[in-house]
Structure 1
């Protein structure tokens, strides 16, 4: 067949080719990886977990870059452009090398079927092979044990948190999900757990395979006051006088300390100075994670889409100070715990602008409004919209200068608002 010549062509082909977006299992991906013949040439980090993966990857990338290393980063999903998923030396990959990488995977796969995510994961690895990297960071897409990213051999694995999400695939208890997350650990390799209360299944699996498990609050951790914070390692040195990370939110010290624990664990492979750590924490940037935009009224973008993330968002909003009224632009996917997510914010929001998300998984705005009503939110506080952009436009029109607008519920919700704002500046 003739290969597509553009990135849009490749993405369209992959979307049309495989009807099932998620198909857990490593056999097919492992076969294509072998045929691709792009062996590992530098240390690799795998980052999994329910929440905090994106922030953790961003911290790790920023610190490694500040230390002078050439770094590849693969994450998902993207907000606006697919290129966001593949970063080389802190920059989104250009279309041409990505198109080449998609072609290399296509040649290697033969008649082996791959999902959109699997093909993209292998393409990122192929692109990294051409870049002469010193370190690679790979974010797990879903779960861990059976996720396509887990075909690669990590020198250090990080599980950020374990909570209830994707239960149709991973199980309906923290213990079941913890076992899936722990699947990215390796015998004899550092295994960092940023969750201070990990499920026993995660701890047991790490012990059973002989991974070097380090748990937040037990083997490493942090303390802080209003001006600075301290990182500590059991039996090791304390690193005090650290400025708070550039990423906002009460949970970011959990993510930052897990990254520092990972850096400490691989110091023989990738030496990193405290100056690089400080610089990386100061310069890190990640759209859509409690991102407060400049201007008034205040606009906060957060991809929180499950109860654990919503609880953190609620804490972060509470710490912002006084705002006369809070306007929420909310769109969610039907397969999420919508009730559990919304209940954390029902007392924090004055005006609910609920919207329909596209695609078969998108929840209708009318159903979101019904759920809010069932949670005790009065009908006069709820309005429905056909899309996040429409809800956001209404919020911008109605919110007073001293108010705040919170956009949350899904990557799709935040992405639509970001795209609208970008188009308005062109």
Structure 2
């Protein structure tokens, strides 16, 4: 595959923004699944961990599970690396060392190291940045490393790491062009982060048979939700029960939403499975779950009208968002800032949320995968979304313009939900950040 690299090659002193532009230019395809190229470069970089490694895959819930694991391990006093993707606003969000985002200088140094050894091997943006962040972690003296799978599992760059423990949070339809169009095919792809003889956590209450068969075939130590571990809760507190460990009388996680106990119990199952190497006392579990933060996952901003940010971008996540909205109580009107990418199941997402929304503000997203606000509005009308005195559908060029319009129309007692893509939430967060800065100036 030919490379179309820029004339001037960046180095460790090059600004991060220039590095990221360079990385977008050096591979012909944004997604190029397969581990041969990335593994070859990883071998040249001699990436190896003394730290305990936990790999987290799944259709939804990966980010929340990773964030809870990080928070609990940090509260227990461990040195922790966390790799997640995509980022919302700044690339640095993808790499956290001991709870702090990696600096521009740290990332540029690692990018230069990867570029220096890759030779004529082409790497996608995701592969290149994954290798750089893995190298950063390998040199940071960490006790534990938490790695979120980017796409699928079997052929994802993160899967070059033989995880000490792997978690599959959920299996549902997303990225069907790459992973297959049914849960059995997708489950097969995700199960490949499991390793023989090592803890393999499955948080999906009804896992596809393909995942169970793969785990059995390789001899993974499969921990199934409902069989090997579970949770119970009332209005005040909840408890976790595993194979040989119970954690009782815990406050609910700081992350809101109906599925967070499922994610939290999967994280606790992983910690139980690893407790000989990473013991975590009960106080650290309590503190970590109370302190955990993750922008864009049913994040409710302070003030009125209520503003909810959620990166839900597939039907499964949209169904969870719908349940969470239903549990919020009564609001006269619900306004939605809605933007999606064209390779997602737009109609499936609309079907899960359609009747809960009174006013739609369709936001265009840029880039080759983006969908215009007008196209989204047309999809809503085709799906039967209402228009009239108390309902509307309007289109805007981007999430910032859509949010500004929603904010103008919404009453104090209403709510605004921003969803459909990481890019939609990021656009609104950036707009709010810039607005705050302008008011201070």
Residues 108-163 of structure 1 deviation map (CA, whole Å, 9 limit, x = unaligned): 21111100000000000111122111110110000000000000121000000000
Counterpart check, 1:423 vs 2:434: yes
For the residues of structure 2 that align with 1:12 and 1:269, how far apart are their CA atoms? Answer: 40
Residues 281-320 of structure 1 deviation map (CA, whole Å, 9 limit, x = unaligned): 0000000000000011000000000000000000000001
Q: Work out whether residues 336 and 359 of structure 2, in 8 Å CA contact, stay in contact via their aligned partners in 1.
A: yes
Q: Residue 2 of structure 1: CA displacement?
A: 4.3
Counterpart check, 1:175 vs 2:175: no
Counterpart check, 1:64 vs 2:76: no
Counterpart check, 1:86 vs 2:95: yes
What's the counterpart of residue 384 of structure 1?
Answer: 395
- Match among 299, 306, 312 for residue 298 of structure 1: 306
For the residues of structure 2 that align with 1:374 and 1:189, how far apart are their CA atoms? Answer: 49
For the residues of structure 1 that align with 2:268 and 2:57, how far apart are their CA atoms? Answer: 16
What's the counterpart of residue 227 of structure 2?
Answer: 218
Q: Residue 217 of structure 1: CA displacement?
A: 1.2
Q: Residue 370 of structure 1: CA displacement?
A: 1.5
RMSD: 0.9
Aligned residues: 425
For the residues of structure 1 that align with 2:137 and 2:147, how far apart are their CA atoms? Answer: 11
What's the counterpart of residue 76 of structure 1?
Answer: 85
What's the counterpart of residue 333 of structure 2?
Answer: 325
For the residues of structure 1 that align with 2:168 and 2:245, how far apart are their CA atoms? Answer: 23
Instruction: Give secondary structure in 2 for the equivalent of 1:353.
Output: strand
Residues 161-189 of structure 1 deviation map (CA, whole Å, 9 limit, x = unaligned): 00000000000110000000001000000
Q: Residue 3 of structure 1: CA displacement?
A: 2.4
Q: Which runs of 5+ in 2 are unaligned?
A: 1-7
Counterpart check, 1:401 vs 2:401: no
For the residues of structure 2 that align with 1:365 and 1:417, how far apart are their CA atoms? Answer: 15
- Match among 58, 73, 76 for residue 49 of structure 1: 58
Following superposition of structure 1 onto structure 2, how do residues 334-413 of structure 1 map, counting pairs within 5 Å?
A: 334-380=342-388, 381-413=392-424
For the residues of structure 2 that align with 1:322 and 1:402, how far apart are their CA atoms? Answer: 9
Residues 69-111 of structure 1 deviation map (CA, whole Å, 9 limit, x = unaligned): 0000111000000000000001111111110000111112111
Q: Residue 379 of structure 1: CA displacement?
A: 3.7
Q: Residue 382 of structure 1: CA displacement?
A: 0.4
TM-score (norm 2): 0.95
For the residues of structure 1 that align with 2:234 and 2:312, how far apart are their CA atoms? Answer: 26
What's the counterpart of residue 255 of structure 2?
Answer: 247
Following superposition of structure 1 onto structure 2, how do residues 32-47 of structure 1 map, counting pairs within 5 Å?
A: 32-47=41-56
Q: Residue 373 of structure 1: CA displacement?
A: 1.1
TM-score (norm 1): 0.98
Instruction: Give secondary structure in 2 for the equivalent of 1:184.
Output: coil
Q: Residue 329 of structure 1: CA displacement?
A: 0.2
